[in-house]
Amino acid sequence: MKKSRFFIEVAYFGKNYHGWQVQNNAVSVQERLNDALAILLRVPTETIGAGRTDAGVHAKQLFVHFDADATGILAKPERFLYALNGLLPHDISVKSVVPIHEDAHARFDAIRRSYEYHLHFEKDPFKYEYSSFLRDTPNVEKMNKAAEFLLGKKDFSCFSKSNTQVFTNICTISRAQWIWEDEGKLVFHITADRFLRNMVRAIVGTLLEIGIKGKPISFMEEVIASQNRSMAGTSVPAHGLYLTEVAYPYPVN
């Protein structure tokens, strides 16, 4: 029987997982999703996500594709979602399931990805796992001016973990901006066609070198030109980072 391809939209709180991708000797979001689909569909089912997230990173929106017999899913998609969510742990949810053309690919077809990094400045036990706490308030104006150096198509080797298996470290960033939000929360918004492993956390760490530690705005330009990870700032904690959007050139929800 020929299988059909589906996209599902997933959200998760990353604290209990060693990232998205299946790994040996570590629990991942993908493993939990594959196991739930296998139980529901009664056959081993593999998923492919739009990208990886590091251990402890959250996702408000991640698209995943899988292949399955369409009969039961298309007949009652709401029931399928209800059953799938019932099999998943409390910190992973599936928001939608959409039939898609057979050549669609959750990772390779994505044209845009967006992340947010959340900071707060007053000690708050209810924000501890959802935002990164800083005692000092940074100079946001300086950080936003430095963030302008990120825009465009560039080699971002300086923000990538070493020994990653990628063909190129060139990415095109279309947005990089700090915004004050409700309750004294500061959020960094960044959008690009693709991201390198650990890239956003390293960028935020470098911007904080400018906003808190007094490095000049031009420091960002120097770091990018160096293509050297040791020049950039320390990666900030994972629990403040959220994947917020993945966009495609066709409807997926």
Catalytic positions: 54
Q: For residues 14 and 21, what is the distance between their CA atoms, to the nearest angstrom? A: 12
Tokens for 47, please give them: 């998923």
Q: For residues 236 and 135, what is the distance between their CA atoms, to the nearest angstrom? A: 14
Give yes or no for a contact between 44 and 38, defined as CB atoms under 8 angstroms apart: yes
Helix axes 219-226, 140-147, angle to 10 degrees: 40
Q: What angle do CA 57, 63, 65 make, to 5 degrees?
A: 125
Q: For residues 62 and 110, what is the distance between their CA atoms, to the nearest angstrom? A: 11
Tokens for 170, please give them: 């060139």
Q: For residues 82 and 62, what is the distance between their CA atoms, to the nearest angstrom? A: 18
Other CB atoms within 10 A of residue 17 CB: 26
Helix (H, G, I), strand (E, B) or coil at 66: strand
- Helical (H) or strand (E) element with 70: helix 70-75
Q: For residues 17 and 26, what is the distance between their CA atoms, to the nearest angstrom? A: 8
